[in-house]
Amino acid sequence: MMRRQAILACASLLVAPAMRAAAQGDVTDPAIARIRAFYDVLLTVMKEAEKLGIQGRYGKLAPAIRATFDLAAMTRIAVGPDWNSIALEQQNALIDSFTRMTIATYANRFDGYSGERFEVEPATESRNTGRLVRTRLIQSTGEPVILNYLMRGSGDSWKVVDVYLSGTISELATRRSEFGAILNSGGPNVLVESLRQQADKLMRAPGKA
């Protein structure tokens, strides 16, 4: 009996650290922590959506989106190879316009709350270009919407550089096709104006749940 108890005690000493590490893994992973913090803000805004109005939602979401997304990198990726041929002043204007449009998109779409919740998988997937964080938006009907985030960074600093809708559809690949057509037909200034108009329209239009 004493020998059995000793074996069980040794086994518990070996297993306990592994269990603690598994339980803490999702907490200490900075990429996952970044997305969870963003979702906390987003869920709060959804619950207060009607009271805040679209301008209030924009104001609440802006700091969280800037902290979560590498909007300068996302703009460069969306523009593609033409980026290096664009003047610095126009590059900055494109980043500003893309940033405003991104925040306006979230403020417009997340305009209410009816029991939705966000789920974040407790482990990231390593990619050559960073880490993939897999998440789901569980709608009030129980139907999940897959949203995966490609993140880059080091140490405690990780930011989103692409979003995969339905798990596989790259948002920036879609944007690059759209942006490329505008750049080819009108150049950087026309793209800046297009982004500005899209943001204005989102801020005026009724939200989309």
Q: How many domains does the chain have?
A: 1
Query: At 168, which CATH number?
Result: 3.10.450.710
Average pLDDT for residues 143-169, to the nearest whole number? 93
Using CA atoms, how far apart are residues 161 and 145, in angstroms rounded to an integer? 19
Q: Is 9 domain-assigned? A: no
What is residue 154's predicted lDDT score, i.e. its pLDDT?
80
State pLDDT tens for residues 108-143.
Answer: 999 999 999 999 999 999 988 799 999 999 999 999
State pLDDT tens for residues 159-203.
Answer: 999 999 988 899 999 999 999 999 999 999 999 999 999 999 999
Residue 186: give the domain boundaries: 27-204
- Nearest residue to 150 (alpha-carbon basis) of 142, 158, 141: 158
What is residue 136's predicted lDDT score, i.e. its pLDDT?
97
Q: Is 13 domain-assigned? A: no
Q: Is 198 domain-assigned? A: yes
Average pLDDT for residues 91-118, to the nearest whole number? 97
CB-based contact 139:158 (threshold 8 Å): no
**Model confidence at 20: pLDDT above 80:** no
What is residue 27's predicted lDDT score, i.e. its pLDDT?
52
CB-based contact 111:123 (threshold 8 Å): no
What is residue 4's predicted lDDT score, i.e. its pLDDT?
47
Q: Is 3 domain-assigned? A: no
What is residue 129's predicted lDDT score, i.e. its pLDDT?
79
Higher pLDDT, 7 or 43: 43
> In percent, how much of the chain has pLDDT > 90?
80
Strands 130-138 and 117-120: antiparallel
Using CA atoms, how far apart are residues 141 and 149, in angstroms rounded to an integer? 24
Q: Is 63 domain-assigned? A: yes
Q: Is 139 domain-assigned? A: yes
CA distances from 156 to 32, 120, 151, 153, 201 (A): 11, 18, 12, 8, 36
Q: What is the pTM of this model?
A: 0.84
The CA-based angle 57-208-190, given to 5 degrees, is 80
What is residue 167's predicted lDDT score, i.e. its pLDDT?
82
> What are the tokens at 159?
């930011």
Q: Is 59 domain-assigned? A: yes
Mean pLDDT of the chain: 88
Q: Is 19 domain-assigned? A: no
